[in-house]
């Protein structure tokens, strides 16, 4: 019953936090105004700035920020014990992550939908704009390069997930066209889309579709990266309502439905036990089979600071500031929706991370396949978490969650094949929605960075960077860089390992990005004479922890003669220090001083308009 109590307690705590702390942030700190003219209406262009229903935006936002982050991070971090992982997820998401996501969204809304990197140049100094955008470009390049690998790995491990994932693309286009028509009812298309996706999971590996899945699973990782990046090109340049937004929305329906089944399965397993291993055997009792604390797991780095770097999505993630200020802020049609989307979206992701932890430390104990047959209880957990090297592989982390959560579904009497297929689609779909959103975000970053460096004032001279301010060429540049990184050979000379080479840097860079985002939000608040303590403390924390982790990693990289990772990591640390110096230099001078060209969003309010 302890597993059920943990899940219930986390859910109640998130619910209370949303209606207390989240409401206070919305009303008292950020002073959200239902009559304010938002960027999606003021700058509506039918491509990026598109006022949309908040339920659709929530689907886009949630699936984009979540990805596989709240799965692979917690699934690895439980090697230090389930208690520290759970504490960081629950309280990190409420007090830090949700504040960060909502803050980045509000600041962008008040700055015509600009990204947080663009805003940094106005609220701090012009140099910080280039510094921040450079870090964003580096982080997103790694994301684009690695997530093709993640999806390809899932497809190879769970071929039955391929067709259900691919069929979402044409389905999303149809849903997008349907919902874009004025007066369209969202309920019926949503139910139809959900039903079709569930049918694709149930029958997507039968007959010729099984042969199709097998054939597609044999495509090389490098070719999968190319295919997925071509898809990302179209998802980035097409109007947001045609593909990106509806795909994220229908994915959110499927993912939330799957989460609902996992929760119900957890309740059933807690009350009467998991599925019996055979008709004659009794049901397996659900209990936590992992240790509460592990001070020094075999081969693992120290819990501090690496727990806070390993679990990013689910607690606090810098990538979220890109989604909040990059795509979501351009779609909200009412400023007060920022609490529901920004704060509520992060709490939903936090609850997903809680379920991931429980699936790995309790659900896995209901039965897992191994070379020695089916293992149960503590043996099942130790078969995947006996050492850091056994647990940290992508296949191991995804497999621990898929098997553990599938065991919850099997407790409901759901067939094992459907349960595993559904959770495989769950992981692949999350990765795909992050991939296409990241490509669109990278396009914004490239355009903003090129626009800054191109010196538009000198219109009479030819400028080699000006071509990157176009959305088509900027996207082409983004996916080309990502593919170049992805196809780099690994230590064994095999091409297609570039993403995995740079991936060890991403955890620290991602959390550093969260700290820099908090820094921008804090200075934005200080300029307006608003309370800063609730963002300043997380800013200091999220600047210090990644810096410590990166410094420790640099020592390891130097010892291994890995000068590529050392060079990029060292450069990132220098960029962080430079940006902090820039912020410190203006700190005393900016209190109560609104940055130049700032416009009050309420100043251009339509008479009587309210959402």
Average model confidence (pLDDT) for the chain?
A: 88
Whether the per-residue pLDDT at 362 is higher than 60: the answer is yes
Which pTM does this prediction carry?
0.90
Please check the confidence at residue 453 and state whether its pLDDT lies above 90. no
Residues β-bridged to residue 370 = 373
Higher pLDDT, 331 or 505: 331
Q: What is the pLDDT of residue 462?
A: 56
pLDDT tens for 420-441 read 889 888 888 888 888 888 899 9
pLDDT of 603 over the 50 cut: no
CA distances from 321 to 69, 117, 198, 315 (A): 15, 9, 32, 13
Structure tokens, 151: 């999806």
Measure the CA–CA gap between 326 and 322, rounded to whole angstroms: 5
Summarised one tens digit per residue, pLDDT across range 190-212 is 899 999 999 999 999 999 999 99
pLDDT in tens, 301-338: 999 999 999 999 899 999 999 999 989 999 999 999 99
Helices 394-410 and 416-453: crossing angle in degrees, nearest 10, is 140
Please give the pLDDT value at position 610: 57
Q: How far apart are CA 41 and CA 50, in angstroms?
A: 7
257-292 per-position pLDDT tens digit: 999 999 999 999 999 998 888 778 888 889 999 999
pLDDT for 226-254, tens place per residue?
A: 899 999 999 999 998 898 889 989 988 98
Other beta carbons within 10 angstroms of residue 156's beta carbon come to: 17
Say what the pLDDT of residue 395 is: 66
For the chain, which domains are there?
Answer: 2-456+468-599 (1.20.1740.10)
Position with higher pLDDT, 492 vs 540: 540
How far apart are the C-alpha atoms of 238 and 472, rounded to whole Å?
A: 10
Please compute the mean of the pLDDT values over residues 589-595 and round it to a whole number: 87
3-state secondary structure of 386: coil
- Is residue 300 very low, low, confident or very high in pLDDT (cuts 50, 70, 90)? confident
How far is residue 176 from each of residues 137, 184, 261, 479, 506, measured CA to CA in Å? 29, 11, 26, 24, 33
Position 538 pLDDT exceeds 80: yes
* Model confidence pLDDT, tens digit, residues 64-114: 898 777 888 899 999 999 999 999 999 999 999 999 999 999 999 999 999
- CA 384 to CA 392: how far, in whole Å? 9
Query: Residues near 537 by Cβ (< 8 Å), separated by ≥ 6?
Result: none
Query: In whole angstroms, what is the distance from residue 562 CA to residue 43 CA?
Result: 47
Q: What is the pLDDT of residue 470?
A: 87
Q: Is the pLDDT of residue 602 over 50?
A: no
pLDDT of residue 546: 93
The Cα diameter of the chain in Å comes to 84
Percent of the chain surpassing pLDDT 90? 51
The closest alpha carbon to 470, from 450, 452, 440, belongs to: 450
pLDDT at 456: 47
147 pLDDT band (50/70/90 cuts)? confident
**For tokens 């820039």, what's the residue?**
582
pLDDT score, position 244: 87
- As given in the structure block, the two tokens for residue 501 are 């080479």
User: If you write DSSP's letter for every residue of 20-87 in order, what string do you get?
Assistant: IIIHHIIIIIS---TTSPPHHHHT--SSS---B-HHHHHHHHHHHHHTTHHHHHHHHHGGG-HHHHHH
Which of 165-169, 386-390, 403-407 bottoms out in mean pLDDT, i.e. has the lowest? 386-390
């Amino acid at each position: 019953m302890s597993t059920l109590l943990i899940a219930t307690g986390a859910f109640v705590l998130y619910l209370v936090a949303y209606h207390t702390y989240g409401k206070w942030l919305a009303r008292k700190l950020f002073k959200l105004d239902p009559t304010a003219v938002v960027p999606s209406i003021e700058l509506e262009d039918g491509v990026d700035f598109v006022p949309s229903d908040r339920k659709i935006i929530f689907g886009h936002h949630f699936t984009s920020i979540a990805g596989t982050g709240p799965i692979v991070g917690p699934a690895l971090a439980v090697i230090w014990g389930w208690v520290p992982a759970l504490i960081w997820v629950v309280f990190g998401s409420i007090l830090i992550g949700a504040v960060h996501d909502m803050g980045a969204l509000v600041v962008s809304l008040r700055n015509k939908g600009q990204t947080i990197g663009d805003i940094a140049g106005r609220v701090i100094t012009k140099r910080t704009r280039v510094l921040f955008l450079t870090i964003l470009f580096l982080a997103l390049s790694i994301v684009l390069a690695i997530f093709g690998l993640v999806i390809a790995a899932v497809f190879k491990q769970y071929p039955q997930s391929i067709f259900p994932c691919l069929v979402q693309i044409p389905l999303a286009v149809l849903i997008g066209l349907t919902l874009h028509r004025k007066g369209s009812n969202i309920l019926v298309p949503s139910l139809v889309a959900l039903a079709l996706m569930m049918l694709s999971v149930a029958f997507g590996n039968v007959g010729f579709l099984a042969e199709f899945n097998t054939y597609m699973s044999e495509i090389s990782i490098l070719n999968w990266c190319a295919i997925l990046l071509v898809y990302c090109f179209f998802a980035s340049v097409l109007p947001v309502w045609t593909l990106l937004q509806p795909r994220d929305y229908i994915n959110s329906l499927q993912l939330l439905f799957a989460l609902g089944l996992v929760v119900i399965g957890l309740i059933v397993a807690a009350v009467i036990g998991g599925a019996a291993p055979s008709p004659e055997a009794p049901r397996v009792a659900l209990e936590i089979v992992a240790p509460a604390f592990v001070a020094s797991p075999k081969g693992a780095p120290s819990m501090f600071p690496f727990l806070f770097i390993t679990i990013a999505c689910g607690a606090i993630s810098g990538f979220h500031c890109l989604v909040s200020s990059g795509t979501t802020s351009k779609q909200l049609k009412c400023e007060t929706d920022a609490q529901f989307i920004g704060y509520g979206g992060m709490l939903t992701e936090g609850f997903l991370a809680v379920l991931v932890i429980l699936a790995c430390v309790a659900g896995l104990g209901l039965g897992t396949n191994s070379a020695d047959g089916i293992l149960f209880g503590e043996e099942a957990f130790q078969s995947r978490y006996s050492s850091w090297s056994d647990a940290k592989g992508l296949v191991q982390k995804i497999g621990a969650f898929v098997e553990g959560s599938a065991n919850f579904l099997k407790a409901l009497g759901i067939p094992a094949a459907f349960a595993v297929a559904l959770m495989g689609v769950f992981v692949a779909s999350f990765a795909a929605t992050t991939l296409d959103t990241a490509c669109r975000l990278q396009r914004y970053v490239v355009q903003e960075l090129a626009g800054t460096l191109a010196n538009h004032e000198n219109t009479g001279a030819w400028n080699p960077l000006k071509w990157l301010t176009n959305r088509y060429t900027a996207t082409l540049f983004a996916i080309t860089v990502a593919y170049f990184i992805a196809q780099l050979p690994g230590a064994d000379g095999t091409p297609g390992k570039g993403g995995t080479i740079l991936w060890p840097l991403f955890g620290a860079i991602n959390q550093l990005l969260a700290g820099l985002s908090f820094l921008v939000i804090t200075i934005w608040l200080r300029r307006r004479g608003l309370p800063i303590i609730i963002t300043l403390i997380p800013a200091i924390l999220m600047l210090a922890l990644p810096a410590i982790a990166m410094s420790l990693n640099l020592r390891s990289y130097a010892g291994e003669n890995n000068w590529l990772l050392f060079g990029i990591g060292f450069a990132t640390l220098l960029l962080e220090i430079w940006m902090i110096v820039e912020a410190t230099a203006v700190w005393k001078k900016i209190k109560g001083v609104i940055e130049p060209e700032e416009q009050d969003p309420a100043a251009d309010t339509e008479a009587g308009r309210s959402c």
